Structure 1
Amino acid sequence: MAETRIPTVVVDDVHIVYRVHGAAKDSSPLGALRRIASRGPSATVREVHAVKGVSFTAHEGEAVGLIGTNGSGKSTLLRAIAGLLPATKGAVYTKGQPSLLGVNAAMMADLSGERNVVLGCLAMGMPKGEVRAKTQEIIDFSGINERGDFSSLPMRTYSSGMGARLRFSIAAAKKHEVLLIDEALATGDAKFRKRSEDRVRELRAGAGTVFLVSHSLSSVRDTCDRTIWLESGVIRMDGPTDEVLAAYEEFSTAK
């Protein structure tokens, strides 16, 4: 009997259109006064159709790579799956609440790395006892103390790579039904990338679903069994990672 695959994310004909506000033609103080007096528009507005009719289903235990050139709609789609961006048309259905981890995930800059670990874990709903037990493990996993006791220093003293490693380490400390990773593995050294990729495999083994947006094709190749290639807001290819990456590399080389 064939194994039943349980869907965790269903994206059904999703379109995302957002507005971009540009500068007014006359941005001088006198121009601003004229617009106030006439109640005219303060800026030009144009619509961007970032995602155009995207449909797919992801299942338990899958790691799905999302690739494409800059502006192809990858991060926009990820935010829609996370529930942070409403679909203009179509719908997104998820099992549980997806967790989005990006390089710009919120952290308290004036608090220490250790304190951010505690607050981040509590925000994910982990019990206080589990947070206390896992705090040092999370710090060790991130590697931020390899060159000194950085965990006791404010986050504002960290490099962007250190901050990204700590963010991933916090998010990966909890079992997620759906974990969305946006470029968070692109920063850091080879040793941390290896630990991160191993952790993604553990999440998959626990029936979690992982989405990885990355410009690092090696990370996608090493981590994901399936890859979706977005281009200009539409799915150009969806299939086994090796096949999709081979087509994408050929496309990139030909440009």
Structure 2
Amino acid sequence: MGSAAVIVDDVHVEYKVYASGKALDKAGRKLLTRTRGVRTVHALKGVSFTAEKGESIGIIGSNGSGKSTLMRAITGLTPPSRGAIYASARPNLLGVGAALLPDLSGERNIVLGGLALGFSKEEIAEMRDDIVAFAELEDFIELPMRTYSSGMQQRLKFAIAAAKQHEILIVDEALAVGDKKFRERSESRIREIREQAGTVFLVSHSMGSIRDTCNRVIWLEKGVLREDGDPDEVIKAYEGWKK
């Protein structure tokens, strides 16, 4: 693959979904009857691009544009219906929905998350204090995860995943959590991963985070790659299209 980290070659993703055939108003009255049965949703339509090693690529687009579907396809969680994806290393997905165990303490979840990332118990013990400090959970790390606010949980998930130097890392809205100080530290960590020859994809609705973190932006809309290039130029086109 040479200097390429990820090659996305004419990728299509189609979902089969069941249509119930009913639409109701707020009072529960049936407004119309649609055709029942299985419908095909064409989530990605011939997307192609090459991500080079060391790039930090922002993925933008309106809700339902195919951003998360593309990231799941790159990680192998959603197989393409047509086309192919090639990667120089295993892509790792860091999303705010990443599952940790709510009945276990933050401490135990650090161990489980570290093991899942391939660290030894000794390595996890060495990085434990840094993870806790990064997540700002010093006073809560012994408590069960279910007692954490959603922001605390998401900070811990980010801190665990960002402890590893990933060759290809996908961050799906993780920078949207926490206060300004935490977001700045998160963005700094993403830049560190990129500078150490890692490739980062950042899916976000925050154009500020995209501008601060990425050196390239891909704009998806309705499953089609609309633009790919300089962050300021692509974001300007996207924001103009939204008006």
AA paired with 1:49?
H
Structure 1 residues 236, 24: CA separation in 2 closer, same or farther (over 3 Å shift)?
closer
**1:73 match:** 66
* Displacement of 1:14: 0.1
Q: Secondary structure at the match of 2:166?
A: coil
- SS state of the match for residue 87, structure 1? coil
Contact 1:5–1:59, Cα closer than 8 Å, also in 2: no
2:12 corresponds in structure 1 to 15
Report percent identity of matched pairs: 60
CA distance in 2, matches of 1:213, 1:105: 15
1:106-121 mapped onto 2 (5 Å cutoff): 106-121=99-114
Distance 2:143 2:19 in 1: 40
Q: Matched residues in 2 for 1:173 and 1:156: separation? A: 23
Larger Rg: 1
Contact kept in structure 2, 1:8 and 1:178, CA below 8 Å: yes
Contact 1:5 1:60 in 2 (8 A): no
TM-score, normalization by structure 1:
0.87
Structure 1 residue 24: Cα displacement: 5.9
Which has the larger strand fraction? Answer: 2
- Unpaired runs of at least 5, structure 2: 23-35
CA RMSD of aligned residues (A): 1.4
Is 1:199 matched up with 2:196?
Answer: no
TM superposition shift of 1:5: 6.9
In the alignment, the residues of structure 1 paired with residue 18 and residue 136 of structure 2 have an alpha-carbon distance, to the nearest angstrom, of: 41
> How far apart, in 2, do the equivalents of 1:118 and 1:85 lie?
28
Which residue is 1:239 aligned to?
229
Which residue identity is paired with 1:120?
G
Amino acid at match of 1:116: N
TM-score, with structure 2 as normaliser = 0.92
**CA distance in structure 1 between the aligned counterparts of 2:150 and 2:86, rounded to whole angstroms:** 33
95, 99, 102: which one aligns with 2:95: 102
In 2, are the aligned partners of 1:9 and 1:92 still within 8 Å (CA)? Answer: yes
> For 1:1-255, what aligned pairs fall within 5 Å after superposition?
6-23=3-20, 44-145=37-138, 149-253=139-243
Is this contact kept in 2: 1:98–1:178, CA < 8 A? yes
